[in-house]
Amino acid sequence: MEILKTIELTKSYSSHKALDKVSIEIPQQSIYGLLGPNGAGKTTFIRIITQIFEADGGEIFFNGEKLSSKHILDMGYMPEERGLYKKMKVGEQLIYLAQLRGMKYAEALKRLKYWFKKFDIGAWWNKNVEDLSKGMQQKVQFIATVLHQPSLIILDEPFSGFDPINANLVKDEILRLRDEGSTIIFSTHRMESVEELCDSIALINKSRKILDGKTKAIRSAYRSNTFIVETDRFLPVLPEAFEILEIESKVDHPVRTVVKIKEGSSNHLVSSILNDVQIFSLNEKVPTINEIFISKVTEPIEERVAVAG
């Protein structure tokens, strides 16, 4: 079952259409990547489902119910523009934010002790937020977002400002929260994080959803029968059924050739070169989410409409 479902969501600002009939279903207990270039409509979509903005048209359902103000307490939202009070102490601020989300003081304190130990930030309790680095503030904001254990967690560029060690620490927590029952909407430009974390994705461009589905299924759907073959020397002249797209040759390294198979299979490619070269490896080149993202965003509008429709 989906935790969140939107049906033909629309939103305009004056003459600018920010969302154009965007329909999305986000499965429960999953990490859902919300992708798109700057200005595509991602932030507007998030602010509508968190009821910061009101949609002009369409419907939103949360756990099968029409979205209403009561569902806000079951969401946690970490915006890209961080929302901490710079002059407040870290511990005092987190207690305050937890109480705004309906938590009792004692329960908030108990959970904060867990998170401060988990993130090794015990010394920060009495520090002012303005005295923390961007990455340190990011940790505090993450704790504020998940402390009340919402079933839907919305993270907008959560790794901004993190070094690799802290980014991995937060990635592990995101995966743990998913495994323990939470659903995470993950909005980012970092495609390597999408590959690593997201079970499903939706791509929004110029206010419209142009692609969505399971991450693995999307990558599989965009396979182009292209292979990377590593050999001890350059390949011989190939039959017309094969097209060489790229050749890379370095001293003391195998020759790396990217071959597109227009007819036949990888077995036919192997049989075509086996008598002329020694084959070290043959691997299919499955497109990355980043490559698919670029290809879809740069498609002519007519083609995008056909795919999205």
Q: Which class is domain 2-219? A: alpha beta
pLDDT digits (tens, 9 = 90+) for 52-79: 999 999 999 999 999 999 999 999 999 8
Which residues in the chain show pLDDT less than 70?
A: 300-309
pLDDT digits (tens, 9 = 90+) for 282-300: 999 999 999 999 888 887 6
Q: Where are the alpha helices (DSSP H) in the chain?
A: 42-49, 90-100, 105-118, 134-146, 164-179, 191-197, 215-221, 266-273, 289-297, 301-308
Instruction: Give the three-class secondary structure for 79.
Output: coil
Distance between CA atoms of residues 170 and 229, nearest Å:
37
Look at residues 37, 36, 48 and name the one whose alpha carbon lies nearest to residue 12: 48
Tokens, residue 160: 């901004």
Per-domain residue ranges of the chain:
2-219, 224-284
Torsion of CA 141, 143, 148, 152, to 10 degrees: 70
Do 153 and 146 form a contact (C-beta atoms < 8 A)?
yes
Amino acid in position 182: S
pLDDT at res. 301: 55
Q: Is the dihedral of CA 102, 107, 113, 114 positive or negative?
A: negative
